[in-house]
Amino acid sequence: MAGNTYGQLFAVTTFGESHGEALGVVIDGCPANLEIDLNFIQQELNRRKPGQSLITTQRKEDESFELLSGVFNGKTTGAPICMMVRNTDQRSKDYETLKEVYRPSHADFTYQMKYGIRDYRGGGRASARETAARVLAGAVAKLYLKQQGIQIQAYVQQVGLVSLAIPYEQLDLTQVESNVVRCPDEPTANRMIKLIEQVGQDGDSVGGAIACVINGAMAGLGEPVFDKLHAEMAKAMLSINACKGFEIGSGFNAAQMLGSEHNDAIERVGNQVRTTSNNSGGIQGGISNGETIYFRCAFKPVSTIRKPQQTINQEGDEVVLAASGRHDPCVVPRAVPIVEAMAALVMMDFYLRNQALQQH
């Protein structure tokens, strides 16, 4: 495969460029007889949509999707599911100026080197617009996982130097969608919003971090030794545009801890085996242990900024670039549904992979 398919059993292939005809996704391997809630899928897509608030880009993307196959009388048939979004607001001419310029920290240069050709309109295939297709597939996975009692919720945990110190267990995650920055703690959310507004006014951008919490996963998901649950999760997260780091449970903090501090003691609570702490982040030996799965990922500041930057063009001449138009000063809030979607694809695939090898 050339990198556009994720998953072994719930195999998701996305296609499309930022300013091409359409972008979409084919899911091969969705179990039959799953009820497809079109409203829920649309709603997930809307969460990713630009122009949702003043802190996000105002490009109007038509994000209504079309279901092309794999569903009959409201249920999946086991056939491949194709969903598609037409590109309508394709002001390609806006991008003619970028035709020959390699934007710093974008994929312009590397795509040109790898493929010897580049669809420069809006970043082409490298545009974050591609993630809309992932959100569509993730929504289907979520519908299935919900039936199995698995719930996925991400939230913005950090924007620049504004960081939410409260651990996930103490947060009310139903509040994530209550503000535009998708941080469940309102005071922190307000500080994040202020920061983003300031950065936007400066023509700059700022990074951040997203935490993700998965509840209800049974013990047994993950396929060691290479396809450990957190290893695949790391891959899935780092495949998202601008993601720079991933940590499971204690993560980088583990590097400075002692074993006696870090080990999660095991106890019996009623009929259940539980751990008294969760530095493992719900995964041990690459397999879920039935506790909450918890991970965090870092996002760099958006590369496109209005401030002038030094770069070169395809001819190798040095030029100064200053982006015009409005761009997201902080992509992190909009990445929340993408993180959830990718997490759902990972969980879904491991659910099916685990099921394949069980005795029934």
- Which residues between 230 and 249 bind a copy of itself (CB under 8 A)? 230-239, 244-249
Q: What is the CB neighbour count within 10 angstroms for residue 308?
A: 11
Among 43, 110, 178, 201, the residue binding a copy of itself under the rule CB under 8 A is: 110
- Where does this chain touch a copy of itself (CB under 8 A) — which range of 39-47, 54-62, 168-176, 228-236? 228-236
| Site residue total, a copy of itself (CB under 8 A) | 155
Q: Which is nearer to a copy of itself, 174 or 345 (CB)?
A: 345
Q: Which is nearer to a copy of itself, 223 or 340 (CB)?
A: 223
Considering the complex, what minimum distance in angstroms separates the CB of residue 65 from a copy of itself?
A: 12
Instruction: Give dist(CA 106, CA 31) in Å, integer.
Output: 38
Contact (CB, 8 A) for 129 and 240: no
Q: Which is nearer to a copy of itself, 186 or 267 (CB)?
A: 267
- Residue 318's contacts (CB-CB under 8 Å, 6 or more residues apart) are 310, 311, 312
Q: Which is nearer to a copy of itself, 172 or 255 (CB)?
A: 255
Contacts to a copy of itself from residues 49-108, by CB under 8 A: 66-70, 72, 75-82, 84, 102, 104-107
- Residue 41's contacts (CB-CB under 8 Å, 6 or more residues apart) are 65, 83, 136, 139, 140
Instruction: Give dist(CA 197, CA 203) in Å, integer.
Output: 10
Report if residue 150 touches a copy of itself, rule: CB under 8 A: no
Report if residue 173 touches a copy of itself, rule: CB under 8 A: no
- Residue 271's contacts (CB-CB under 8 Å, 6 or more residues apart) are none
Structure tokens at 78: 């086991």
Nearest-10 crossing angle of helices 38-48, 131-147: 140
DSSP of 60-75: -----EEE-SSEETTE
Contacts to a copy of itself from residues 195-214, by CB under 8 A: 199, 204-209
Report if residue 216 touches a copy of itself, rule: CB under 8 A: no
Among 59, 100, 251, 292, the residue binding a copy of itself under the rule CB under 8 A is: 251
Residue 309 DSSP class: E
Contacts to a copy of itself from residues 290-319, by CB under 8 A: 290, 298-305, 307, 309-312, 316-318
Among 5, 58, 88, 178, the residue binding a copy of itself under the rule CB under 8 A is: 5
Q: How far is CA 198 from the centre of its chain?
A: 25
Q: Is the dihedral of CA 173, 174, 176, 179 positive or negative?
A: negative
Contacts to a copy of itself from residues 13-52, by CB under 8 A: 13-17, 20-24, 26, 28-33
- Where does this chain touch a copy of itself (CB under 8 A) — which range of 56-64, 165-173, 183-191, 351-359? 351-359
Report if residue 353 touches a copy of itself, rule: CB under 8 A: yes
Among 58, 224, 322, 325, the residue binding a copy of itself under the rule CB under 8 A is: 224
Instruction: Give dist(CA 322, CA 302) in Å, integer.
Output: 14
